[in-house]
Amino acid sequence: MNLANLSGPSPSTPQCSAKGCRSDAVWVLAWNNPKLHTPERRKTWLACDEHREHLAQFLGVRGMLKDVVTLADWESRDDGTDAQG
């Protein structure tokens, strides 16, 4: 059973990672949990304009936020980081 398909088709454009938000992503929040990840590893959350600050604060107070850049700038990088997750 493929659980990834239970929520319907994948969106054609990247969407905000905030719970319940289906807005198009504009921002990439790069983060790293130092308890789990090597220092150079970057995980990412996507954010719309409305949720960028909230998600950044959530990661920031935990000491995990490393960078916030526009989605366009992030996509132009070729650094092999993880996709959303």
Q: What is the DSSP string of 1-69?
A: --GGGTT-SPPSS-B--STT--SBP-EEEEE--TTTS-TT--EEEEE-TTTHHHHHHHHHHTT-EEEEE
Distance separating alpha carbons of residues 76 and 55, to the nearest angstrom: 22
Instruction: Read off the pLDDT of residues 1-60 as tens digits, 9 standing for 90 and up.
Output: 334 444 555 568 899 999 999 999 999 999 999 999 899 999 999 999 999 999 999 999
pTM: 0.76
Instruction: Read off the pLDDT of residues 55-79 as tens digits, 9 standing for 90 and up.
Output: 999 999 999 999 999 999 999 986 5
